């Protein structure tokens, strides 16, 4: 894993999460938290995932 790349991806998602959710097609909106969590799961520790999930709910 490229830690720097993963950090950049995480920072982008964290900073733009509202824009991503707002602009997503309605059908995908319910899936977005799970897609992001799945994408980040291998890279970040569980506390980060839980914090992201809490922010999205």
Q: Residue 13's domain spans which residues? A: 3-56
Give mean pLDDT, residues 12-39. 72
The model's confidence at residue 2, banded by pLDDT at 50, 70 and 90, is low
* Cα gap 22→8, rounded to integer Å: 21
- Split into its structural domains, the chain has a count of 1
Q: What is the mean pLDDT of the chain?
A: 69
Determine the Cα angle at 29 with ends 33 and 19, to 5°. Answer: 85
Per-residue pLDDT at 7: 76
Distances (CA, A) of 54 to 2, 49, 57: 26, 9, 5
Per-residue pLDDT at 10: 77
Task: Please determine, for residue 43, whether its predicted confidence score (pLDDT) is greater than 60.
Answer: no
Task: Please determine, for residue 45, whether its predicted confidence score (pLDDT) is greater than 70.
Answer: no
Give the predicted TM-score (pTM) of the model.
Answer: 0.33
């Amino acid at each position: 894993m490229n830690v720097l790349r993963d950090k950049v991806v995480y920072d982008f998602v964290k900073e733009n999460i509202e824009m991503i959710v707002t602009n997503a097609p309605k059908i995908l909106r319910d899936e977005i938290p799970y897609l992001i969590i799945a994408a980040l799961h291998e890279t970040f520790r569980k506390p980060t995932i839980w914090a992201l999930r809490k922010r999205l709910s």
